[in-house]
Amino acid sequence: MISRWKRAARGVAFVLSAVALAAPATADEGSRGRELYGFCRQCHMDNGAGNPLYLAPNIAGLPEWYVARQLDKFHSGIRGTNFDDVAGMRMRPVGIWLEKESDRKAVAAYVASLPIVEPAPTLVGGDPERGKALYAPCSACHGPDAKGMEALGAPALDHQDDWYLLTQLEHFKSGIRGSKPQDVQGAQMRPMAMLLADEQAMKDVIAYIMTLGGAPKTAKE
């Protein structure tokens, strides 16, 4: 398993290094973080809004501590190493490629500096009223307005893509995310996803979370 991983990862790392050589940072291009973000663009786009076609979520303006922690997890293999995790496995080679902790921090700071982009809703059939009740236990960690709480390691959810929230809840529930013994924060979140009985409950809570950001309230049918 591990060697399969390493082979797959090396392929992508090579492509990324080739890009690095082809696109040297110019003096006025600013920080190391900005330079490193050059590789993230292909999936998360210039503004960090992500692209559902690549399963890449909206990361614009996520807090630096959260982004750095996720990059550490993708680096060490705490996240993105489950073979059922198609999306996580796309991000994992990037984590491997970001070898230095200082680089992971630098690019996290750059991501955090990107202005927030309101996501366009894509899910239909969620009931925000039911979702409001289901969200009550979530607010203990993610905050009543889903702005997140650093002390508890819980990220903001209020500007996140609905389709991505749904996959992550499914992944926490099934153990694709958050079940590695070293994943302290994942262990906090997993039982919460298990509280959501089925996909409808997940859609309901997401519909409520979507009302907390500045996004339009319902998806086009």
Q: Which residues bind ligand HEC (CB under 6 A)?
A: 36, 39-40, 42-44, 54-57, 59, 62, 67, 69-70, 87-88, 90-91, 94, 98, 107, 111, 137-138, 140-142, 152-155, 157, 160, 165, 167-169, 185-186, 188-189, 192, 195-196, 205
CA proximity to 164, closest of 106, 209, 127, 214: 209
Cα separation, 92 vs 87, in Å, equals: 9
CB of 46 to ligand HEC, least distance (A): 12
Least distance (Å) from ligand HEC to the CB of residue 14?
13
Distance CA 212, CA 142 (A): 12
Query: Six-digit token pair at 170?
Result: 């499914």
Residue 91: CB minimum distance to ligand HEC, A: 4
Question: How near is the Cβ of 69 to ligand HEC at its closest, in Å?
Answer: 6
Q: Which is nearer to ligand HEC, 193 or 221 (CB)?
A: 193
Nearer to ligand HEC, 65 or 221 (CB): 65
CA–CA gap between residue 83 and residue 98 (Å, rounded): 21
What's the Rg (C-alpha) of the chain?
17
CA distances for 217 relative to 119, 140, 159, 161, 162, angstroms: 11, 24, 12, 13, 11
Q: Which residues contact 156 (CB under 8 A, 6 or more apart)?
A: 62, 63, 66, 142, 143, 146, 147, 148
Q: Please, what is the minimum distance in Å from the beta carbon of residue 176 to ligand HEC?
A: 8
Taking the complex as a whole, how short is the minimal distance between the CB of residue 216 and ligand HEC, in angstroms? 20
